[in-house]
Structure 1
Protein backbone atom coordinates (compact mmCIF):
# COMPACT_ATOMS: atom_id res chain seq x y z
CA UNK A 1 0.00 0.00 0.00
CA UNK A 2 2.74 2.48 0.90
CA UNK A 3 4.55 1.67 -2.34
CA UNK A 4 1.32 2.45 -4.23
CA UNK A 5 1.01 5.77 -2.37
CA UNK A 6 4.64 6.68 -3.05
CA UNK A 7 4.23 6.23 -6.81
CA UNK A 8 0.74 7.72 -7.18
CA UNK A 9 0.57 10.79 -4.95
CA UNK A 10 1.14 13.96 -6.96
CA UNK A 11 2.05 17.11 -5.04
CA UNK A 12 -0.53 19.79 -5.98
CA UNK A 13 1.00 22.80 -7.74
CA UNK A 14 -0.69 25.39 -5.51
CA UNK A 15 0.58 23.65 -2.37
CA UNK A 16 4.10 23.60 -3.83
CA UNK A 17 3.96 27.31 -4.66
CA UNK A 18 2.73 28.12 -1.14
CA UNK A 19 5.27 25.73 0.44
CA UNK A 20 2.56 23.78 2.27
CA UNK A 21 3.63 20.54 3.96
CA UNK A 22 1.91 18.22 6.39
CA UNK A 23 0.55 14.81 7.28
CA UNK A 24 -3.04 13.99 6.44
CA UNK A 25 -4.92 11.13 8.06
CA UNK A 26 -7.34 9.51 5.64
CA UNK A 27 -10.06 7.16 6.85
CA UNK A 28 -11.85 4.65 4.65
CA UNK A 29 -13.84 1.43 4.84
CA UNK A 30 -12.89 -1.85 3.18
CA UNK A 31 -16.19 -3.43 2.18
CA UNK A 32 -17.18 -7.12 2.12
CA UNK A 33 -15.97 -7.41 -1.48
CA UNK A 34 -12.66 -5.59 -0.80
CA UNK A 35 -13.69 -2.32 -2.42
CA UNK A 36 -12.90 1.03 -0.81
CA UNK A 37 -15.71 3.32 0.38
CA UNK A 38 -16.42 6.22 2.75
CA UNK A 39 -13.09 7.93 2.06
CA UNK A 40 -12.69 10.99 4.28
CA UNK A 41 -9.98 13.24 5.68
CA UNK A 42 -9.66 12.95 9.47
CA UNK A 43 -7.38 16.00 9.81
CA UNK A 44 -7.21 18.67 7.16
CA UNK A 45 -3.93 20.38 6.25
CA UNK A 46 -4.69 22.28 3.04
CA UNK A 47 -7.63 21.81 0.61
CA UNK A 48 -5.62 20.64 -2.42
CA UNK A 49 -3.57 18.20 -0.30
CA UNK A 50 -6.79 16.82 1.18
CA UNK A 51 -8.28 16.43 -2.30
CA UNK A 52 -5.18 14.62 -3.60
CA UNK A 53 -5.18 12.26 -0.62
CA UNK A 54 -8.81 11.33 -1.25
CA UNK A 55 -8.15 10.84 -4.98
CA UNK A 56 -5.27 8.46 -4.35
CA UNK A 57 -7.07 6.38 -1.73
CA UNK A 58 -10.17 6.05 -3.94
CA UNK A 59 -7.91 4.79 -6.73
CA UNK A 60 -6.49 1.88 -4.73
CA UNK A 61 -7.21 -1.60 -5.99
CA UNK A 62 -9.41 -3.94 -3.98
CA UNK A 63 -8.16 -5.12 -0.61
CA UNK A 64 -8.59 -8.52 0.99
CA UNK A 65 -11.64 -8.01 3.21
CA UNK A 66 -11.52 -8.59 6.95
CA UNK A 67 -12.96 -11.75 8.45
CA UNK A 68 -14.54 -12.56 11.79
CA UNK A 69 -15.46 -16.18 12.49
CA UNK A 70 -15.04 -17.01 8.80
CA UNK A 71 -17.43 -14.27 7.58
CA UNK A 72 -16.26 -11.20 5.69
CA UNK A 73 -16.83 -7.92 7.50
CA UNK A 74 -16.43 -4.22 6.81
CA UNK A 75 -13.25 -2.77 8.31
CA UNK A 76 -12.42 0.89 8.90
CA UNK A 77 -8.82 1.97 8.34
CA UNK A 78 -6.89 5.18 8.94
CA UNK A 79 -3.68 5.80 7.05
CA UNK A 80 -1.25 8.73 7.06
CA UNK A 81 -0.22 10.46 3.86
CA UNK A 82 2.72 12.83 4.31
CA UNK A 83 3.40 15.71 1.96
CA UNK A 84 6.97 17.02 2.28
CA UNK A 85 8.84 19.32 -0.06
CA UNK A 86 12.50 18.61 -0.81
Structure 2
Protein backbone atom coordinates (compact mmCIF):
# COMPACT_ATOMS: atom_id res chain seq x y z
CA UNK A 1 0.00 0.00 0.00
CA UNK A 2 1.28 3.41 -0.85
CA UNK A 3 0.18 4.82 2.51
CA UNK A 4 1.96 2.22 4.51
CA UNK A 5 5.52 2.79 5.50
CA UNK A 6 6.30 0.66 8.44
CA UNK A 7 9.44 -0.21 10.20
CA UNK A 8 9.83 -3.00 12.63
CA UNK A 9 12.03 -2.53 15.64
CA UNK A 10 12.94 -5.62 17.54
CA UNK A 11 13.44 -4.91 21.21
CA UNK A 12 15.02 -8.30 21.61
CA UNK A 13 17.98 -7.93 19.27
CA UNK A 14 20.15 -10.80 20.46
CA UNK A 15 19.99 -13.90 22.59
CA UNK A 16 20.58 -12.94 26.19
CA UNK A 17 22.47 -15.29 28.45
CA UNK A 18 20.91 -15.47 31.86
CA UNK A 19 17.39 -16.13 32.91
CA UNK A 20 14.60 -14.00 34.14
CA UNK A 21 11.49 -15.90 35.04
CA UNK A 22 8.08 -14.35 35.54
CA UNK A 23 5.00 -15.98 37.02
CA UNK A 24 3.63 -19.24 35.58
CA UNK A 25 7.07 -20.21 34.22
CA UNK A 26 7.10 -17.56 31.53
CA UNK A 27 10.59 -16.28 30.87
CA UNK A 28 11.49 -12.82 29.63
CA UNK A 29 15.11 -13.70 28.84
CA UNK A 30 16.56 -17.09 27.96
CA UNK A 31 19.75 -18.54 26.49
CA UNK A 32 18.18 -18.74 23.04
CA UNK A 33 15.33 -16.32 22.39
CA UNK A 34 12.33 -17.36 20.24
CA UNK A 35 12.57 -16.74 16.51
CA UNK A 36 9.95 -16.30 13.83
CA UNK A 37 10.13 -19.59 11.95
CA UNK A 38 11.82 -19.14 8.59
CA UNK A 39 13.63 -21.32 6.10
CA UNK A 40 17.18 -20.28 7.02
CA UNK A 41 20.26 -22.10 5.76
CA UNK A 42 23.06 -20.75 7.93
CA UNK A 43 22.87 -21.06 11.71
CA UNK A 44 24.94 -17.91 12.27
CA UNK A 45 22.56 -15.86 10.15
CA UNK A 46 19.42 -17.51 11.52
CA UNK A 47 18.28 -14.48 13.56
CA UNK A 48 18.80 -12.12 10.62
CA UNK A 49 16.87 -14.47 8.34
CA UNK A 50 14.07 -14.92 10.89
CA UNK A 51 13.79 -11.16 11.43
CA UNK A 52 13.56 -10.56 7.69
CA UNK A 53 10.87 -13.22 7.34
CA UNK A 54 8.89 -11.62 10.18
CA UNK A 55 9.22 -8.17 8.60
CA UNK A 56 7.99 -9.58 5.30
CA UNK A 57 5.02 -11.26 7.00
CA UNK A 58 4.13 -8.04 8.81
CA UNK A 59 4.51 -5.77 5.78
CA UNK A 60 2.40 -8.17 3.69
CA UNK A 61 -0.40 -8.63 6.22
CA UNK A 62 -0.57 -5.39 8.18
CA UNK A 63 -3.15 -2.82 7.09
CA UNK A 64 -2.83 0.84 7.99
CA UNK A 65 -6.09 1.47 9.86
CA UNK A 66 -8.56 3.64 7.94
CA UNK A 67 -9.03 5.98 10.90
CA UNK A 68 -5.26 6.47 11.23
CA UNK A 69 -4.91 7.03 7.49
CA UNK A 70 -7.75 9.58 7.46
CA UNK A 71 -6.16 11.49 10.34
CA UNK A 72 -2.63 11.02 8.94
CA UNK A 73 -1.76 9.59 12.34
CA UNK A 74 1.58 7.95 13.07
CA UNK A 75 3.01 6.16 16.07
CA UNK A 76 4.43 2.99 17.50
CA UNK A 77 2.23 0.18 18.76
CA UNK A 78 3.74 -2.49 21.00
CA UNK A 79 2.11 -5.87 21.52
CA UNK A 80 3.34 -8.58 23.87
CA UNK A 81 2.63 -12.28 23.55
CA UNK A 82 3.96 -15.59 24.80
CA UNK A 83 5.79 -17.93 22.47
CA UNK A 84 4.77 -21.36 23.73
CA UNK A 85 7.01 -24.43 23.76
CA UNK A 86 5.32 -25.69 20.56
CA UNK A 87 5.91 -22.39 18.72
CA UNK A 88 2.33 -21.14 18.90
CA UNK A 89 1.47 -17.74 20.33
CA UNK A 90 -0.75 -17.03 23.32
CA UNK A 91 -1.89 -14.17 25.54
CA UNK A 92 -1.47 -11.31 23.06
CA UNK A 93 -1.97 -7.90 24.66
CA UNK A 94 -1.44 -4.29 23.65
CA UNK A 95 1.30 -2.66 25.74
CA UNK A 96 1.46 0.64 23.87
CA UNK A 97 -1.31 2.02 21.71
CA UNK A 98 -0.90 5.28 19.79
CA UNK A 99 -4.63 5.21 19.02
CA UNK A 100 -6.58 5.40 15.76
CA UNK A 101 -6.76 1.59 15.59
CA UNK A 102 -3.00 1.03 15.31
CA UNK A 103 -2.61 -1.06 18.49
CA UNK A 104 -5.64 -3.14 17.57
CA UNK A 105 -4.22 -3.77 14.08
CA UNK A 106 -0.94 -5.15 15.47
CA UNK A 107 -2.93 -7.27 17.93
CA UNK A 108 -5.02 -8.60 15.01
CA UNK A 109 -1.85 -9.44 13.14
CA UNK A 110 -0.37 -11.40 16.06
CA UNK A 111 -3.62 -13.35 16.43
CA UNK A 112 -3.60 -14.01 12.68
CA UNK A 113 -0.20 -15.71 12.95
CA UNK A 114 -1.83 -18.61 14.81
CA UNK A 115 -4.81 -18.67 12.46
CA UNK A 116 -2.46 -18.70 9.44
CA UNK A 117 -0.39 -21.54 10.93
CA UNK A 118 2.68 -19.33 11.36
CA UNK A 119 4.80 -20.82 14.10
CA UNK A 120 7.90 -19.69 15.91
CA UNK A 121 10.99 -21.54 17.06
CA UNK A 122 10.52 -21.60 20.84
CA UNK A 123 12.97 -20.14 23.32
CA UNK A 124 15.50 -22.51 24.86
CA UNK A 125 16.73 -22.56 28.46
CA UNK A 126 19.00 -25.31 29.82
CA UNK A 127 18.53 -27.22 26.55
CA UNK A 128 14.73 -27.34 26.83
CA UNK A 129 11.99 -25.35 25.10
CA UNK A 130 10.36 -22.85 27.45
CA UNK A 131 7.57 -20.27 27.34
CA UNK A 132 8.93 -16.79 26.59
CA UNK A 133 7.26 -13.38 26.59
CA UNK A 134 8.04 -11.46 23.40
CA UNK A 135 7.40 -7.78 22.72
CA UNK A 136 6.74 -6.72 19.15
CA UNK A 137 6.91 -3.00 18.33
CA UNK A 138 5.55 -1.82 15.00
CA UNK A 139 5.95 1.77 13.84
CA UNK A 140 3.28 3.29 11.62
CA UNK A 141 4.39 6.18 9.44
CA UNK A 142 2.00 7.94 7.11
CA UNK A 143 3.40 9.02 3.80
Relative to the length of structure 1, the TM-score reads: 0.92
Aligned residues: 86
What is the aligned partner in structure 2 of residue 38 from structure 1? 91
Q: Decide which moves more: 41-50 or 6-15.
A: 41-50
Where does structure 1 lack aligned partners over 5 or more consecutive residues?
A: none
Matches within 5 A, 1:7-86: 7-60=60-113, 61-86=118-143
What is the aligned partner in structure 2 of residue 4 from structure 1? 57
**Separation of aligned partners in 1, 2:119 and 2:136:** 16
> Which structure has the bigger radius of gyration?
2
**Separation of aligned partners in 1, 2:128 and 2:103:** 33
Shift of 1:57: 1.3
Q: Over the residues paired in the alignment, what is the CA RMSD in angstroms?
A: 1.1
Secondary structure of the corresponding residue to residue 53 of structure 1? helix
Structure 1 outlier segments of 4+, above 2 Å = none
